Amino acid sequence: MQDALGCVDTMSFSLKQPQSFNFDSIYYQAVTCPDAKDGLIEVTVKGGSVSNAKPYQFSMDSVQWQTNRIFRKLSGGVYTLYAMDGNGCKTKTTAKLEEPPRITLTVLPKDTIIKIGYPVQLESRINSKDTIKQYAFKYQWIPMEGLECSDCASPVSKPNQSTTYTLKLDYNDGCKYEGKAFIDIKDGIFIPTAFSPNQRDAMENETFKVYGENIQNTHIQIYNRWNEKVYEESSAKANWNGYYRSDLAAQGVYSYHITITFIGGKVVEKHGEVMLFR
């Protein structure tokens, strides 16, 4: 340094370069389910200038800043992370927060009619446009009755009564899905509206009985028009031949009350009328 008179003086000093300021580590907690907001990103930085009065600050948009280095309640996606030291120096990086692929669950058949005692295949179909083989799936079918297994993907069902099966699917240890299948059991029985003990026609029923499959027992009660019981029997092959007190009953309309027990325990009651022709 020199003044106007030509006097010269010297002074030496040094400028200290701050340590390089950048992100040191990023910890991820992945999103548990598609479209959920339970992900987490935790960051650490190193270098730069920092003090108790001017701590590191963090942001996801470079507008709103926080001293907390943890970002919570995040959905899946790519994020730009910003950090700022005590001197206002900034650095940034990107982080990708994973989430499981979206899936669709279909349970088949939707509505099916079967005869009692017949099996039907239940099926769960899981579809996704992404690869999902690495994810865990847990199955729970409710109710368990009539199923060969209740914790498999596609059990065979053999219900004894009309049943709505509900599949509760656990995907990626926490994502819940549900589907339903309705199996309608038809009685599989036929009760004639007329019969002729004399069998006037080869096409007519000679006795009055219940026709069907998987019937374990039939309890038949027959009443005449005066509400007098003319026949009662309980057996697997119960049938009325049209006789009452050793004589052929009069031609006319008779009422019946029938209780049918199927193999498997299902019980069906039927009321109606039958015409006896002579």
Residue 146: predicted pLDDT: 85
Task: Report which of residues 201 and 180 the model is more confident about.
Answer: 180
Question: DSSP label at 69?
Answer: -
Q: Count of domains in the chain?
A: 3
Same domain as 182, residue 195: no
**Angle formed at CA 173 by CA 76 and CA 156, multiple of 5 degrees:** 125
Any domain includes 3? no
Domain enclosing residue 122, as ranges: 104-186
Alpha carbons 64 and 67: distance in angstroms, whole number: 11
Say yes or no: 152 and 210 in one domain. no
What are 126-155's pLDDT values in tens digits?
A: 998 888 888 889 999 999 988 999 999 999
Calpha distance 75→40 (Å, rounded)? 9
Residue 202 pLDDT class (50, 70, 90 cuts): very low
Tokens for 148?
């060969």
In a domain? residue 14: no
Burial 116-146 (b: 16+ CB within 10 A, else e): bbeebebebebeeeeebeebebebebeeeeb
Query: Do 81 and 113 reside in the same domain of the chain?
Result: no
Q: Which residue has the tokens 């446009």?
A: 129
What is the domain-level CATH number for residue 166? 2.60.40.10
**pLDDT tens digits for 28-63?**
999 999 989 999 999 999 998 888 899 999 999 999
Average confidence (pLDDT) over 166-185:
92
DSSP state of 203: T
